[in-house]
């Protein structure tokens, strides 16, 4: 089996690559070739023993997608995107990467199958940002997609394209609306939601973090470990069970900032909590406040997707996976 990961140098892409290298298979099918693509050259984990290709290329370049699709990967993970805050700040860049790049990829798959049958499984990472206020207490599977940001709009268009290209038999696609991934390892990025990770990640290693929103802000989260699990499950799911509705809101954990902080206190104590500095940012408060806070993902749960059970668990996953199993 040939697996292609687009966006392989990002946090989720790296973790997915490491998991695939460790397992050596997707489901019961061995991986014989692994192709990694990003705007900076990704790294192939030493644990992977099959054929591998890692290259730097921009999916928004019209020549990129046809070249990589010509190698006919069996599974394509499309993770590449400009994050929410950056997509809002740079209108042209957001649409070029998040929309044009996605369309180029889907169209390359269609063209590849014109002369000889080709039907890859394509897993597209969408976002809960496809939904917009006003919200009820929870968002069900029938809630209207009406995004309030450029990023959400770009992801919503991607979902519609995925559904249509799959309906026409050009690919076997599934779109998964990821919760905000928390705790993200590494350094802060330009995502408007980045502070959800920052206020936990930095205090856990004795560093100050800025909290730009009210403690009452509620949001929908999943750990990086759960995210990788979502991707692998989507890659092996019998898509006939989707009944033509190819995009899913995934399970997660709804929590307020205050609940996050109390979980941090239970795990790391008052000293860690004291490192959170409140510095209100009205723009971030408004943007994140326009996102969905809680979900009832009935379809995804019935299809076997699973997420974290508590914020204590999310913090412990971060300590295990990123800090060697213990606090500094």
Q: Counting Cβ atoms within 10 Å, is residue 282 exposed (0-12), middle (13-18) or buried (19+)?
A: exposed
Q: Is 151 designated active site? A: yes
CA 114 to chain centre: 30
- Judge contact between 47 and 22, C-beta under 8 A: yes
Query: Going by C-beta distance under 8 Å and a sequence separation of 6 or more, which residues neighbour residue 30?
Result: 1, 24, 50
| Catalytic-labelled residue, pool 95, 118, 151, 165 | 151
Token digits of residue 208: 């100050």
CA 194 to chain centre: 13
Residue with tokens 């950056």: 86
Token digits of residue 206: 């004795």
Cα gap 246→172, rounded to integer Å = 9
Catalogue the active-site residues. Answer: 151
């Amino acid at each position: 089996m040939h697996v292609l990961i687009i966006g392989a140098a990002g946090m989720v892409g790296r973790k997915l690559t490491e998991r695939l290298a460790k397992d050596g298979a997707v489901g019961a099918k061995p991986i014989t070739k692994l192709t990694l693509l990003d705007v900076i050259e990704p790294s192939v984990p030493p644990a992977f023993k099959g054929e591998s290709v890692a290259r730097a290329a921009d999916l928004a370049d019209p020549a990129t997608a046809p070249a990589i699709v010509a190698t006919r990967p069996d599974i394509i993970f499309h993770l590449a995107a400009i994050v929410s805050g950056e997509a809002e700040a740079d209108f042209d860049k957001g649409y070029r990467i998040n929309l044009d790049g996605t369309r180029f990829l889907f169209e390359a798959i269609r063209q590849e199958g014109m002369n000889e049958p080709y039907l890859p499984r394509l897993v597209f990472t969408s976002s809960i940002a496809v939904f917009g206020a006003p919200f009820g207490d929870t968002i069900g599977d029938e809630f209207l997609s009406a995004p309030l940001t450029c990023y959400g709009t770009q992801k919503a268009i991607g979902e519609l394209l995925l559904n249509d290209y799959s309906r026409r038999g050009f690919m076997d696609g599934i779109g998964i609306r990821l919760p905000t991934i928390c705790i993200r390892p590494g350094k802060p990025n330009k995502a408007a939601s980045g502070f959800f990770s920052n206020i936990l990640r930095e205090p856990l290693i004795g560093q100050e973090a800025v909290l730009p929103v009210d403690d009452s802000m509620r949001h929908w989260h999943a750990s990086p470990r759960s995210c990788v699990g979502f991707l692998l499950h989507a890659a092996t799911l019998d898509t006939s069970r989707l009944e033509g509705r190819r995009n899913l809101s995934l399970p997660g954990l709804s929590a307020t900032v205050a609940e996050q902080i109390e979980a941090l206190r239970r795990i790391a104590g008052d000293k860690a909590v004291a490192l959170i500095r409140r510095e209100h940012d009205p723009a971030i408060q408004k943007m994140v406040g326009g996102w969905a806070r809680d979900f009832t993902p009935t379809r995804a749960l019935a299809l076997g997707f699973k997420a974290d059970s508590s914020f204590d668990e999310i913090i412990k996953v971060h300590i295990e996976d990123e800090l060697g199993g213990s606090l500094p």
